Amino acid sequence: MMAIRSILIACALLIGAALHAGPQPDELLDDPALEERARALSGDLRCLVCRNESIDDSGADLARDMRMVVRERLVEGDSDDEVLAYMVERYGEFVLLRPTTQGINMVLWVAAPTMFIVALGAALLYLRRRERASSAEIGAELSPDEQARLRDLMRD
Amino acid sequence: MFIELGHFALILAFAIALAQTLVPLVGAHMGWRRWMAAAEPMASTQFLLTAFSFAALTWAFVTSDFSVQLVVSNSHTAKPMIYKISGVWGNHEGSMLLWVLILTLFGACASWFGGNLPESLRARVLGVQSSIAAAFMAFTLFTSNPFARTANPPFDGRDLNPLLQDPGLALHPPFLYLGYVGLSLAFSFAVAALIEGRVDAAWGRWVRPWTLAAWVFLTIGIALGSWWAYYELGWGGFWFWDPVENASFMPWLFAAALLHSSIVVEKREALKSWTILLAILAFGFSLIGTFIVRSGLLTSVHAFAMDPDRGVFILYIMAFFMGGALTLFAVRAGAMEAKGVFSTVSRESALVLNNVLLAVSSFVVFVGTMWPLFAEMLFDRVLSVGPPFFNMAFSPFFVALAAILPIGAMLPWKRGDLRKTMRPLWPILVFSMAAGALVWAMQTGRSALGPVGVLLGLWVVLGSAADLWARTGRGAITNRLRRLTRLPRADWGKATAHAGLGVTVFAVAGLVGWEQEDIRVVQIGEAYSFGGYEITLRDVRDVEGPNYLSTMGFMDVERNGRLVSTLTPEKRIYPVAGMPTTEAGIKYRFLHDVYLVLGDPQQGGGWAVRSYIKPFANWLWAGCAIMALGGLLSLSDRRFRVAAGARRRRPEDGSEVAAQ
């Protein structure tokens, strides 16, 4: 039974990527400030073999390697941006969970604010029209028949 | 035999769905009353046949009939009964059948409770609803047949994905589908109204309960999924901005917008064409969600059918319904003239702003979700859009929404006075800000998240209470208290749902802002202190479950020398599916959860252990539950009013005048 069990566990570990795990105790840096930066950076980097997980959440071996690389770079004195640049150079833009603002990506970042301004503008225009109709108060005092007649007249 | 009958019932239901699409629509167009009336028995029959078909598949799962391919792939004799049943929808084919079942259920409900709808509108609604059912039945029958037999039945099945073997996730899909599919009825009403060329207050009143029901179901479904992620995925994350989560979140946002704009249609006969457009888009986003999950185009944690053919089929369905509805909208929307007039400072305007914010935040989610696809197809850039983007781009709109909510909720219809509305709200605003500032001063970290959460949470919750209180009019406190109990349920529902949102916003901010984490190696018998607790790893033992093997840690959690709880975090292995899972040990407490995860055994002895303090985690699920409860309260009021007829409507309108 134990033998079967250990085989099963071994198999399970091979596909252990399904498990979320994150940094192991032996990975942590002694300097708390540096470690905090490492955690923050890990949250912004994608585990390449996982589905939509940051390396900070992933249990995959590759994620562990990537976490180690981040910590190595930090220990060697890289700034946060330098670490990210290093990771992009090594793994491609895909690794960044926070997309850059370069080139066409600018569209992604300005899409929402632009949409908000356009929507707000349209809403204000609509409200202004309603308000004008409101100050005229046409139709409010008319009976349904009169309103229907008015509509007919307006159509002509 | 039973399985073949189930399959046959679904084919029959498909034939009826086709007939139910044609007959009532032609009947309504020509004014043939008999043809219109035919829609109702057809809707009921269609539902009963689909229900039978679903029951047949469930029977196959319950009895572990391994001559059915789907049962072989997703079930196992050793599995507990509840997961044999939930296994029916824990896979692509079965979940499509559930989807179709719910579609026909909503169609049947529209015919059962649609007695006071105009004849032609009812016929058209049922016809359009049935056309959606027909499309998805065709999809199920032709691309994802759940009833396929296997030539060589094995002795046992391959088991359900262990991650799905969980009570929360057993219920998550049915609720989500009730929500997604509930929006199909709003869509059918919108298209029927466009064909009729008429939208009036009655239409708004008819669409609202269905949208409300769909929204309540979506709220529960999303909350269940999020709760599941919290306790199952092993580190207490509750929202990942995963494409599939976004797929359910976009319809939720649209349903919320539709809910509010249809109030304006009902009460003020304005915003008609916008509401129609929202109803179309809300269901459109449900279809996009289905497409995202089923096509595997955007791979994510829980996409189950990675089959391009199926994706293309759903794309056709989507193109047909969205293209058709939007074209109809473009042609007919001009005919919807608004009647109600109102000034810029009014409840109507506040609801317009609500709609702008909800629609834009939904748009943010949409753009972020689809951007990697666009960027790769059009610009050849392989990139990711992850949580950092969504948190940054989405949050401002939701903060704005929470900020305007109490004011908008209290503004009177038609013409308001901001100063007068703000009078009862000023003390609340000052109090909330003071509380936020106090928390800011007291907390150790520099994060503004927690304090802002406190501010917004208090502002929205107390604002909702003030809204309710203001509706009791003037006079002695005892009189007002008595009137409070007699307020219509819709008022209670509104205040409750808004307060639930406030609680949720606060909980999210608190949970993210004040979480504590500890990672360490612990020897058996060793104790460590963390977050005000003394935690001891007493033992790690192997335990055998019904269909899994578990490595279970026994950890005592003490506070001030008193045992709070003994938690048993586990690492499980499901041998049949060959998959490991983690089961965190969680002590749910009022102000925070203690969350323990057992990691791997270490080379030098001992075990990796992660400990978390999760502040206000319970408040998050409670907030969602309160929101859903508010929706249900409001819903119960509507049914009452529909049943009681016009007699009840007058005094309520009177109270509204008094409150202004």
The encoded tokens of residue B234 equal: 């092993």
**Beta carbons of B224 and B172 less than 8 angstroms apart:** yes
Q: Measure CB to CB from residue B352 to each of A12, A43, A123 and give the nearest one.
A: A123
- Reply yes or no on whether the pLDDT at B247 is more than 50: yes
Instruction: Give B123 to chain A, closest Cα distance, Å.
Output: 27
Query: Which chain A residues contact residue B236 at CB under 8 A?
Result: none
B126 has a pLDDT exceeding 50 = yes
* pLDDT at residue B320 is higher than 90: yes
Q: What is the tens place of the pLDDT at every residue in B325-378?
A: 999 999 888 777 667 777 788 888 899 999 999 999 999 999 999 898 888 888
Residue B196 CB neighbours (<10 A): 17
Distance from the A123 Cα atom to the nearest Cα atom in chain B, whole angstroms: 7
Residue of A nearest to B597 (CA): A21
pLDDT at B653: 40
φ, ψ for residue B242 (rounded to 5)? -75, 145
Of A18, A51, A140, the CB nearest to B341: A140
- On the question of pLDDT at B303 being above 60, the answer is no
Note whether A8 contacts B379, CB cutoff 8 Å. no
CB pairs under 8 A between A and B: 161
Q: How many CB atoms lie within 10 A of CB B388?
A: 17
Structure-token match 């400072």, residue found:
B345
- Chain B within 8 Å of A29 (Cβ-Cβ)? no
Find the mean pLDDT for residues B11-34: 91
The string of pLDDT tens digits covering residues A47-81 is: 888 777 888 888 788 888 999 999 999 999 889 99
Write out pLDDT tens, residues B26-82: 988 888 888 888 888 999 999 999 999 999 999 999 998 888 888 888 888 888 888
Mean pLDDT over all residues of chain B? 87
Is the pLDDT score of B274 beyond 70? Answer: yes
SS3 state at B587: strand
Q: Which amino acid is at B99?
A: W
Instruction: Provide the 3-class DSSP secondary structure of residue B528.
Output: strand
CA distance B597 to chain A (A): 9
Phi, psi of A20, rounded to the nearest 5 degrees = -80, 140
Q: Which of B339, B352, B598 to mutate to test the interface with A (most CBs of A within 10 A)?
A: B352
Round to whole Å and give the CA distance between A17 and A64.
Answer: 11
Burial of B159: CB neighbours in 10 Å, binned 0-12, 13-18, 19+: buried
pLDDT value of residue B127: 94
The answer to whether B345 and B416 have CB atoms below 8 angstroms apart is yes
Contacts of A104 (CB under 8 A, 6+ apart): B375, B379, B381
Cα–Cα distance measured from residue B82 to residue B61, given in angstroms and rounded to the nearest whole number: 11
pLDDT of residue B527: 93
Q: What's the pLDDT at B301?
A: 41
Of residues A53, A119, A134, nearest to B356 (C-beta) = A119
**Chosen from A6, A13, A42, A52 to mutate, greatest number of chain B CBs within 10 A:** A52
* Chain B residues with beta carbon closer than 8 angstroms to that of A12: 573, 578-580
| Spatial separation of the C-alpha atoms in residues B517 and B531, rounded to whole Å | 9
- The minimal CB distance from B578 to the residues A12, A44, A120 is found for A12
Contact B273, A95 (CB under 8 A): no
User: Is residue B588 within a helix (H) or strand (E), and if so which, with residue range?
Assistant: strand B585-588
Strands B570-574, B562-567: parallel, antiparallel or unpaired by DSSP?
unpaired
Residues in chain B: 660
Mean pLDDT of all residues in A116-142: 76
For residue A55, give both structure tokens. Answer: 């390396």
d(Cα B48, Cα B614) in Å, to the nearest integer? 46
Look at residue B504 and tell me whether its pLDDT is greater than 70: yes
Q: Which amino acid is at B132?
A: I
Q: Note whether A49 contacts B: Cβ–Cβ < 8 A.
A: no
For residues B286 and B180, the answer to whether their CB atoms sit within 8 Å is yes
Q: Which of B383, B389, B581 to mutate to test the interface with A (most CBs of A within 10 A)?
A: B383
pLDDT in tens, B396-441: 999 999 999 999 998 888 888 888 888 889 999 999 999 998 988 8
Chain centroid, CA B388 distance in Å: 23
How far are the Cα atoms of A92, A125, B25, B394 from residue B185, in angstroms, in the given order?
Answer: 45, 31, 16, 28
CB contact under 8 A, B237 and A20: yes
pLDDT band at B206 (very low <50, low <70, confident <90, very high): confident
Exposed / middle / buried, residue B583 (Cβ in 10 Å: 0-12, 13-18, 19+): buried
Task: Give the three-state DSSP class for B202.
Answer: helix
Band the pLDDT of B235: cuts 50, 70, 90: confident
pLDDT digits (tens, 9 = 90+) for A11-51: 333 333 345 577 888 888 888 888 889 988 998 999 888 77
Please report the pLDDT score of residue B308 as a whole number.
Answer: 67
Which of chain B's residues have a Cβ under 8 Å away from the Cβ of A128? 344
Q: What is the pLDDT of residue B298?
A: 61
Q: pLDDT tens digits, residue range B511-557? A: 988 988 899 999 999 999 998 999 999 999 999 988 889 999 999 99
Among B243, B382, B579, the residue with its CB nearest the CB of A93 is B382
CB half-sphere exposure, A39, CA atoms < 13 A: 15
CB B127 within 8 A of CB B191: no
User: How distant, in Å, are the alpha carbons of A41, A61, A100, B234 from that of A57?
Assistant: 12, 12, 22, 9
Which runs of consecutive H residues, i.e. helices, occur in B296-386? 308-332, 347-379
Task: Map tokens 């840690």 to a residue.
Answer: B553
Question: How far B148 CA lies from chain A's nearest CA (Å)?
Answer: 29
pLDDT at B190: 93
Distances (CA, A) of B89 to A64, B82, B92, B176, B574: 35, 12, 7, 12, 20
Q: pLDDT of B153-186, one tens digit each?
A: 888 887 777 777 788 778 888 999 999 999 999 9
Cα of A93 to nearest chain B Cα, Å: 5
User: How high is the pLDDT of residue B138?
Assistant: 94
What sign results for the dihedral spanned by CA atoms B614, B368, B299, A100?
negative
| Closest chain B residue to the Cα of A103, Cα to Cα | B379
Extents of the domains making up chain B: 516-617
Q: Nearest CA to CA, how far is A98 from chain B (Å)?
A: 5
d(CA B612, CA A128): 52
Residue B300's pLDDT is 44
ipTM over 0.95: no
Q: Are the Cβ atoms of A96 and B383 closer than 8 angstroms?
A: yes
What is the distance between the terminal CA atoms of chain B, rounded to a whole angstrom? 66
A41, A118, A130, best to mutate vs chain B, most B CBs in 10 Å: A130
DSSP letter at B147?
A: T
| Chain A residues with CB-CB distance to B355 below 8 A | 123
Q: Does A109 touch chain B (CB under 8 A)?
A: yes
Q: What is the full DSSP assignment across B543-584? A: EE-SS-EEEEEEEEEEETTEEEEEE--EEEEETTTTEEEEE-
B207 to chain A, closest Cα gap in Å? 23
Percentage with pLDDT > 90 across chain A: 24
* The predicted structure's pLDDT at residue A20: 58
CA distances from B286 to A10, B293, B654 (A): 41, 11, 39
pLDDT greater than 80 at residue B647: no
Query: Looking at the predicted structure, is the pLDDT value of residue B151 above 60?
Result: yes
Taking the complete model, does pTM exceed 0.90, yes or no? Answer: no
Report, in this order, helix, strand and coil percent for chain A, each rounded to 5. Answer: 65, 5, 30
How close B602 comes to chain A (CA, Å)?
9
Chain B's closest residue to A124, CA to CA, is: B344
Give Cβ neighbours of residue B485 (< 8 Å, ≥ 6 apart). Answer: none
Give the closest of B363, B519, B578 to A11, CB-based.
Answer: B578
CB-neighbour burial class of residue B199 (10 A; exposed 0-12, middle 13-18, buried 19+): buried
B580, B550 contact by CB (below 8 A): no
